[in-house]
Chains A and B, each alone.
Chain A
């Protein structure tokens, strides 16, 4: 939406927009993720609200120039509140024909298309499955196309460096970035600073990237290449200090914060898996906080070591994605049985089996709820956005240590890799999580399975503490001594106790709150659909529809007022990136018929997809 226009001294018009969505797309080797991240950092620092969505192939280097190798990064930035990375991009930067082939269908009609024409040779076109060169027919006539000899221009700009052509070509993403900075009236300072610190030890690469960035910027400026440039003003965000954060970074930071606030050393036992590995990469760098990361021999050993560390008194976490969750199932049952604190993080991806490793999905909810043998109830919570991962994992640490039972935290590939501005919490405002290790046997003999009458938590006594020697294990435990018990009544009691312990946590949860109307249609969601639902509900209400939005962080147990809220509405719509797993739980728990909206394409919901369904179901206000 154009708000105003002005003309600069150079004769280029500057238009002010309130919202822009850009997609950078190229070959996996073209550095599009880096370009996107740089553009994001600068845009964030320059004050817009934003959300991003990186979308890359599973192969590290798929054959160059092929459709399979296309890597994309989308950013949606605005002077108003941003909920999602945006539906259709306003701008597509296509570094090669394959990127164009894959992404053009998403570009808004009349949108801006910036193309690197140097990569449209016969062979490139063949690899991208183009019979005709799209630059030469009228297939791009519906867009404002800017053809740029990006490779040639980068080579020219870097002539003075004396670098080999192959190395020079690596800098062309910075040329593209420079152009985009010019087009959107951003400054280069932040990226220049980044280049200087990142390539400190490689002066020739540093110089090349800096030259390319400046050349790209100058190309737009000097040639008046774009007749119009754009600016998106600062957003009116709540006052405070902000940074941009993706979900996996936020989880790592939240875990460190929980470690500080519990006073317990943090231990991560894990095995590399997409899209969860970045949590390990982050935490392994935090040794100065006493964080110990253990890259185990497999998923099973990852959780096993975490349980061992929990037994020895650490704040323990294991991180994985769906297939790894499946492998950890047996150990999760043990964690329930031995009643130790443990945070289990699942960054969901497309399944089943290896599925779509780099794509997002919400299809592990049933696995989280029920994916263990025996009666093995666990706390299940989910993060709604990248920044919310911090608060959610902090809450996981509070619950698991207070109730001495494991917690599953669900995130997914979308919010794990996607980023948004995050208003930093004041460290002093973060709640202290009180943890008391048991050091007094309290009588003749220590009773490791005695309970706090309120929380049903058993005492946490760690090896090395004199007089507290005891055994834990997978066999059923006597309800008091913790000794092995085959007593039928005791087993019945313990099964009930482990269930009740999780149920009762509902008493300790804040009431659920609805955004929007308190009657009519309720859109119920969990996890990463938050942004799309919130945006869609907002738009529907602007159009006069009566609709509310309830988003669940707590799935097991649920907040106590959820039932009342659900029954307060005429209709309930549950959009999920699965075949209706929360819908099934809601149906089972509240005997409620709900409307479902499923999308299982490895991609998050578009705002418009949810809006369309809302408009179909909701009544006028």
Chain B
């Protein structure tokens, strides 16, 4: 099908000048998406990219697809309406940590709970960029920003944990500059039938530069990242010599392979594994653990928009297509001569 459509990256590049700050991580994400879309086997006119407000939310303008730049936090509402009206469309959301988890928090959890077949790319830079540098719901505690000169006090959300809590059926993480991996995740999200939540670590070089350096710097990233692959053991490290297993009390621990410890002692990733395991993964982070990237969870559940139309079809079959005259005359009529 891909060859039939003959789409290339060029088909998805709009004529709008990209206006992110030079050096912004958003450029890498845009590039990865524009490279991935032609490979998904979906006709160009069926893509709709919806966004809220924020730097990331300029995304639709740069994609030569149908696009809707909506209100702060409200992309899930618009996107849900689009998908319900036409389940045949491939609906994507470009959002940020403030847009999705703060002002739009209510909408995002309900989209995930309902399992609306929509692909959410949450660009997480742990800062408010477009409003020029206030802390965000994913900023680390104690962060000094324009609005928190003495350090922030509130605890950050762990986005993956939140998504799991909202019963997301697809949960993944990727990194802006790790393009090949990001494209894999985007493809997996597209293939998933249901709501797909992707946290994409993204560097804001103006207001929060270096926030993800330990994951982006090729010299150290392999020691700090755990690349998840379904059915494969949890191995990481530059020399792929470290792994993760659990103690008897289900506590994760990092072990050095060798000296009697083999891959067989390690946890094997299961995308459809028990929630306890998934929550454990979602909470791993440096310095004690590597941060997992890739598809954390992928599980099957009915899709909301499809179910809504199936129900409608079922009723039509059972009761017959609606007849307006009959409807108007329902509920007891009488005739005046």
A binding-site residues for B, Cβ under 8 Å:
41, 44-47, 190, 237-245, 249, 253, 256-257, 260, 265, 267, 269, 286-290, 292, 294, 296-298, 300-314, 316, 330-331, 334, 338, 423-425, 427, 462-475, 483-484
8 Å CB contact of B45 from A45, A288, A468, A474: A468
Q: Does B69 contact A (CB under 8 A)?
A: yes
B binding-site residues for A, Cβ under 8 Å:
14, 16, 43-46, 48, 50, 53, 60-61, 64-71, 74, 76-86, 88-89, 106-107, 110, 308-309, 311-312, 315-316, 319-322, 324-325, 327-337
Knowing A241-B335, A242-B333, A331-B74 touch, does A294 contact B80 (C-beta < 8 A)?
Answer: yes
Knowing A301-B107, A305-B81, A309-B82 touch, does A331 contact B71 (C-beta < 8 A)?
Answer: yes
B84 touches A309 (CB 8 A): yes
B45 touches A308 (CB 8 A): no
Bound form: Cα–Cα A249–B327 in Å = 11
Please name the residue on chain B nearest to A305 by beta carbon. Answer: B81
Please give the distance in Å from B77's CB to the nearest CB on chain A. Answer: 3
8 Å CB contact of A311 from B46, B68, B327: B68
In addition to A304-B70, A463-B45, A470-B67, 14 A-B residue pairs with Cβ atoms within 8 Å of each other are: A46-B334, A239-B337, A256-B327, A288-B315, A292-B312, A296-B80, A304-B77, A311-B78, A334-B71, A462-B86, A464-B88, A469-B64, A469-B67, A472-B69
Bound form: Cα–Cα A41–B332 in Å = 8
Chain A residues near B329: list those with CB within 8 A. Answer: 241, 243, 424
A463 touches B89 (CB 8 A): yes
Bound form: Cα–Cα A47–B86 in Å = 46
Please give the distance in Å from A335's CB to the nearest CB on chain B. Answer: 11
Leading 9 A-B pairs by shortest Cβ distance: A308-B81, A304-B77, A473-B69, A305-B81, A289-B322, A312-B85, A308-B78, A297-B110, A301-B77
A256 touches B77 (CB 8 A): no
Please name the residue on chain A nearest to B69 by beta carbon. Answer: A473
Please name the residue on chain A nearest to B110 by beta carbon. Answer: A297
Bound form: Cα–Cα A257–B336 in Å = 23
A463 touches B60 (CB 8 A): no
List 21 A-B residue pairs with CB atoms under 8 Å apart, sorted by A's residue number: A41-B332, A44-B332, A241-B336, A249-B331, A286-B322, A287-B315, A289-B324, A292-B308, A296-B80, A304-B78, A307-B70, A308-B78, A308-B81, A308-B85, A309-B84, A312-B86, A312-B89, A313-B86, A463-B45, A463-B82, A471-B61
8 Å CB contact of B328 from A294, A425, A483: A425
Please give the distance in Å from B42's CB to the nearest CB on chain A. Answer: 11
Chain A residues near B315: list those with CB within 8 A. Answer: 287-288
Q: Is the interface of A mostly helix, strand, loop or mixed?
A: mixed
Please give the distance in Å from B45's CB to the nearest CB on chain A. Answer: 4
Please name the residue on chain B nearest to A256 by beta carbon. Answer: B327
A309 touches B76 (CB 8 A): no
Chain B residues near A238: list those with CB within 8 A. Answer: 336
Please give the distance in Å from B280's CB to the nearest CB on chain A. Answer: 29
Bound form: Cα–Cα A472–B65 in Å = 11
A311 touches B81 (CB 8 A): yes
Please name the residue on chain B nearest to A340 by beta carbon. Answer: B68
A301 touches B76 (CB 8 A): yes
A469 touches B44 (CB 8 A): yes
Knowing A256-B322, A316-B81, A463-B86 touch, does A244 contact B61 (C-beta < 8 A)?
Answer: no
A241 touches B333 (CB 8 A): yes
Please give the distance in Å from B210's CB to the nearest CB on chain A. Answer: 31
Bound form: Cα–Cα A427–B328 in Å = 9
A466 touches B325 (CB 8 A): no
B336 touches A237 (CB 8 A): yes
B86 touches A243 (CB 8 A): no
Please give the distance in Å from B73's CB to the nearest CB on chain A. Answer: 9
B70 touches A334 (CB 8 A): yes
A471 touches B311 (CB 8 A): no
8 Å CB contact of B84 from A294, A298, A462: A294
Please give the distance in Å from B250's CB to the nearest CB on chain A. Answer: 33
Knowing A256-B322, A307-B78 touch, does A267 contact B84 (C-beta < 8 A)?
Answer: yes
Chain A residues near B45: list those with CB within 8 A. Answer: 463-469
B16 touches A483 (CB 8 A): yes
Chain B residues near A464: list those with CB within 8 A. Answer: 45-46, 86, 88-89
Chain B residues near A244: list those with CB within 8 A. Answer: 331-332
Bound form: Cα–Cα A297–B50 in Å = 19
Query: Which of A237, A265, A300 has the most chain B CB atoms inside 10 A of its CB?
Result: A300
Chain B residues near A286: list those with CB within 8 A. Answer: 322, 327
Bound form: Cα–Cα A260–B325 in Å = 11
B46 touches A463 (CB 8 A): yes
Knowing A292-B312, A471-B60 touch, does A305 contact B77 (C-beta < 8 A)?
Answer: yes
A287 touches B84 (CB 8 A): no
Knowing A463-B89, A469-B65, A469-B66 touch, does A241 contact B334 (C-beta < 8 A)?
Answer: yes
A260 touches B324 (CB 8 A): yes
Chain A residues near B64: list those with CB within 8 A. Answer: 469
Bound form: Cα–Cα A212–B238 in Å = 84
Bound form: Cα–Cα A464–B85 in Å = 11
Please name the residue on chain A nearest to B86 by beta carbon. Answer: A312
Bound form: Cα–Cα A301–B60 in Å = 20
A471 touches B68 (CB 8 A): yes
Bound form: Cα–Cα A190–B331 in Å = 11
8 Å CB contact of A242 from B50, B67, B330, B334: B334
Chain A residues near B312: list those with CB within 8 A. Answer: 287, 290, 292
Chain B residues near A260: list those with CB within 8 A. Answer: 324
Chain B residues near A309: list those with CB within 8 A. Answer: 81-82, 84-85
A301 touches B68 (CB 8 A): no
Please give the distance in Å from B7's CB to the nearest CB on chain A. Answer: 12
8 Å CB contact of A312 from B70, B82, B316, B325: B82
Please name the residue on chain B nearest to A253 by beta carbon. Answer: B328
A290 touches B322 (CB 8 A): yes
Query: Which of A243, A296, A471 has the most chain B CB atoms inside 10 A of its CB?
Result: A471
Bound form: Cα–Cα A290–B168 in Å = 28
Bound form: Cα–Cα A463–B88 in Å = 10
Please name the residue on chain A nearest to B51 by beta carbon. Answer: A473
Please name the residue on chain A nearest to B78 by beta carbon. Answer: A308
Bound form: Cα–Cα A309–B50 in Å = 13
Chain B residues near A427: list those with CB within 8 A. Answer: 324-325, 328
Bound form: Cα–Cα A363–B337 in Å = 41
B78 touches A288 (CB 8 A): no
A471 touches B69 (CB 8 A): yes
8 Å CB contact of B67 from A45, A245, A306, A471: A471
Chain B residues near A47: list those with CB within 8 A. Answer: 334, 336
Bound form: Cα–Cα A309–B337 in Å = 43
Please give the distance in Å from A261's CB to the nearest CB on chain B. Answer: 9
Knowing A308-B80, A466-B45 touch, does A287 contact B316 (C-beta < 8 A)?
Answer: yes
Knowing A243-B329, A288-B319, A313-B85 touch, does A305 contact B69 (C-beta < 8 A)?
Answer: no
8 Å CB contact of B43 from A249, A290, A466, A475: A466
Chain A residues near B84: list those with CB within 8 A. Answer: 267, 292, 294, 305, 308-309
Please name the residue on chain A nearest to B76 by beta carbon. Answer: A301
Knowing A289-B322, A465-B45 touch, does A267 contact B337 (C-beta < 8 A)?
Answer: no
